[in-house]
Every structure is written in C-alpha cells, then in structure tokens.
Structure 1
Amino acid sequence: MEKELEYSVNLTGVSFLLYELKQVIKLEIDGLNIYEIKDKVIQENIFEYKFTSSLKRIAPTIVKRMEVLDETLKEMVLKEPLETGKAINLYAIMKTDRLFFEFMDEVIKEKLEVNDFVIDKKDINEFFTSKAEQETKIAGWTENTYNKLRQVYFKLLFESGILIDKKSGTIRQLLIDENLRDHIRNIGDIAYLKAMGDDEVLL
C-alpha cells in the first residue's frame, strides 16, 4: 500500500455502498469539491436516507473511497456493467481500510490460491486473533467490535460477489473485466487484484 493506514473500526458503521459512491462521483463531475459534496449529500439527502445521522456518518467514508479512484476508475464505475462497479468499489474499500485489505490478502486470497472455496466464522476469528497478537490497538477492541466487523466483512464479501452463498459460506474468484485488470496493473496496484482473488494474477 502507498502509505500505511491506521487500523480502524470505521467499517462497523458503513457497508458496501456502491450506489452512494456513484452519487458522489456524479457530484464531483458536476464540479463540486469534497467539502461541497459532503454538504450537499447531507443537506439535500442525496442518498435518500431516513436519518440525517446516517448521512453524516457515511458521507466522509464515501468521499474517501472516491478520492482513491483515478478518473479512469471513476468513469468505469458510472459507465461499465454492475460487476465492474462492484470490483472497483471493493478495491476502494481495501484502499481505505487497512484491516479489511489484510483480511482479503491473508484470508480470501490464500483460500482461493489453494482452491478452498468456503469461509466461515472460524476463519475470520482466527484472522482477528492473529492481528490482536500483533497489534495492541486491535487487542484492545471489544468482543462487540469484533462481532460487528465480522458481520460487515461477510456482507462486503456477499455484496461484492465473492461470497455466493451465505449459509454454506461458498466463495468464488471474481471475474475481473480485462480493461479494469490492465488499468489496475498499470497503476501499480496488482496487490489489490491478488487480494480480490483475480484468477489471472493468481496463476
């Protein structure tokens, strides 16, 4: 990763949010800066949420995800098929959340490399335990925090298309669009393709 992100629990309050990402990209295309985007999202309820508190919590996260995307990726989110948008959104989440990237890289990628297509709570628990042994900050999190993160991770896997059956925990390799793969390779982010389990880079 370009710079070392701090470990955080921000994902406990948000989720996949692809629709919301598309909305903020459109606002930027309309000429708004990040501060104006956040303000417009909240003041005009761009996401059509029931509670303003949800808008205030989520708007900064979505803007951060948008900021890690270059112009090509932003355009692809809006114009390419849904599956491509999902892959780019997953990439943005990994770019903005260190722990989730490490989960994808150390758990999902490794499972797919050995053709292990099932994930369960034990896998995530072992990941958290390992991280807690390495990082005092993570070790200080409550069991409730771990439970929330576990729920969010499963949700992110499902909405991205990696987890295809919640009950059995069956996962699959994402089918990454060739143009998207080439672009991410060219900007030096092949590690994120590998973490997503892209079959072309795992070979």
Structure 2
Amino acid sequence: MPETAYTARTNNAFVLTETIRVAELMHLGATQEDIRQRVLVEDLFQLRSQVSRERALQTVLKRLQQVPEKYIQLIATGNPDTRRLTILFLILRENRLLRELIAEVLLDKIKAFDYLLTSADLRTFFEGKREQSSKVAAWSDSTYKKAASNTILVLINAGLLQPMSPRRNYQIRVVSVPSPLRQQLLADGLGHYLTLMLDI
C-alpha cells in the first residue's frame, strides 16, 4: 500500500452522482473539454454556483485521472453497489487518513465483534493522528474538523457506517463487494482493498 501523505480533504467528499455522470461521459469517449463544457456551461451537475461546479468537477476529474478504463466502466455501467464501492476504492487510493481509520479502528472493532463506533473512538483516533503527524498537527482547527467529518461522511456515503442515536455514534456495516469489482481488484493485485472496504 503506497504511503501517501496526509491531505486535508475538506469538501466534495464522495460526489457520487457527479462522479457517475463524468464516468459515463468518459466511457462514451468524451474529451476533458467536452466534459468541462457539459458541467460548467450546461450545468450537468445541477449546481447553481459556478464555484461549486468548478470545485466538484475538479474533485471528480482528479479522482478519475490515470484510472484504468475498467474502473471507469464499472462506475459508468455498474449497479448502484458496484458504482458506490468503486468510487470508495478510488477515494481509498488517495486518502491515507481514511485507510488508517478503517485499518486501525473499524477492522479492530470488527475482529472483537464490536460493531459500534462511538464519538469517543473517533476522537481518540483523530487526536492520535495529530500527535503522530506534524502535517496533521499543523492543520488549523477548522481544517482538522472538516477533514475529520468528511472522512466519516465518505464511510456513511459508501454504506460502511450507519448513523445512530445518540448523535455521532455509528453502526459498522460489513459489506459484500460486488463480483465485477472484486474480480477486477484481484486481477490487478489489489485484493488488500477488499479488506479496507469491510468485505471480510
């Protein structure tokens, strides 16, 4: 697993619909210029502000750049679970904080048959990262809070966490990765991502 640097992801965490729409265009052979035209001028994403359109498009294009066509095809043509979990895989590739939260907290809890993720668990994890990494420690409080909440939001949008009450408690959900995505990851020597997607 590549040790990418910690990056503060503070917006556009999952952008499911937008990622699917761009993947569909790419799969049909649209150029980046075509896609920009559709999003920024024709408002493909249905976002009122130009700034929001730009930001969402930048997130999606960055995510889908240098991705093998087979994964774009899974997002463009797969069923809802395949699409959602393929996007999760692409986010996991670039988001070290998310990988570590799953590996160090969620997987440990599942091994202990404990499927409740509490706000205290999350606080311990994120504060621990601040102590271990000068990069995370250098983030402003607002950046740190946004990065933490966005990391959780990715897991909720991917279906790996279910919000519960009291607020900021979550149920951990083990999932089954759909066969087309599973086979592609195994064929590419990326089977370790299946564990990070809680397919265990």
Give unpaired runs (5+ residues) of structure 2: none
> Hey, what does 2:131 align to over in structure 1?
133
Query: Shift of residue 26 of structure 1?
Result: 1.9
- Give the equivalent residue in structure 2 for 1:190: 191
Whole-Å Cα distance in 2 between the matches of residues 108 and 69 of structure 1?
27
**Structure 2 counterpart of 1:83, from 81, 84, 90:** 81
Q: Secondary structure at the match of 1:129?
A: helix
- The root-mean-square deviation of aligned C-alpha atoms, in Å, is 2.0
Moved more, 46-55 or 124-133: 124-133
**CA pair 179-131 structure 1, distance change in 2 beyond 3 A:** same
One-letter amino acid matched to 2:172: I
Q: Is the 8 A contact 2:97 2:151 kept in 1?
A: no
CA distance in 1, matches of 2:193, 2:90: 10
| Distance change >3 Å, CA 34–CA 103, structure 1 → 2 | farther
Shift in CA distance, 68/91, structure 1 to aligned 2, threshold 3 Å: farther
Contact 1:109–1:196 at 8 Å: present in 2 too?
no
Q: Deviations over 1:128-165 (max 9, x none)?
A: 22222221110011222232223222322222111123
Higher helix residue share: 1
Does the C-alpha gap of structure 1 residues 150 and 120 become closer, same or farther in structure 2, counting only changes over 3 Å?
farther
**Aligned equivalents of 2:126, 2:115: Cα separation in 1:** 20
User: Which residue in the other structure is 2:112 paired with?
Assistant: 114
Paired position in structure 2 for 1:55: 53
Counterpart contact for 1:15–1:155, Cα < 8 Å: yes
Give the structure-2-normalised TM-score: 0.87
TM-score of the two chains, using structure 1 as the length reference: 0.86
User: Which residue in the other structure is 1:124 paired with?
Assistant: 122
Alpha-carbon separation, structure 2, partners of 1:155 and 1:142: 20
Query: Is 2:136 aligned against 1:146?
Result: no
Equivalent in the alignment of 1:174: 175
Give the Cα separation in 2 of the matches to 1:65 and 1:114.
Answer: 34
Taking the aligned partners of 1:151 and 1:124, their CA distance within structure 2 comes to 10
Partner Cα distance (1:58, 1:164) in 2: 25
Query: Alignment partner of 2:116: what SS?
Result: coil
Aligned to 2:27: 29
What is the alpha-carbon distance in structure 1 between the residues aligned to residue 152 and residue 97 of structure 2?
14
